[in-house]
Amino acid sequence: MRDFTIGDLGVFIGTIGGVVTSILIVLQKSSCLKIKCCGMECIRDPALVKKHIKEKGEPDTPKPNLELKENNP
């Protein structure tokens, strides 16, 4: 058996982390109500999830509403 270096371990951990991250991104963007993966099960509302995902071209922070309201007594 061959000895592994710390660099080999870093590449392995980085690869596993990338795979897990990509699976989580795919699950987040899916429109399934029930998700079963690796022995776990989740029932969710995809409309709620998509409501909080930023669309392309939207700013990271919301712009403040600067409209002045007139008081009509």
| pLDDT (tens digit per residue) in 19-59 | 999 988 887 777 778 878 778 888 877 776 666 556 666 66
Contacts of 31 (CB under 8 A, 6+ apart): 46, 50
What does the pLDDT read at residue 40?
81
**In this predicted model, which residue has the larger pLDDT, 15 or 59?**
15
Q: What span, in angstroms and rounded, lies between the C-alpha atoms of 5 and 31?
A: 42
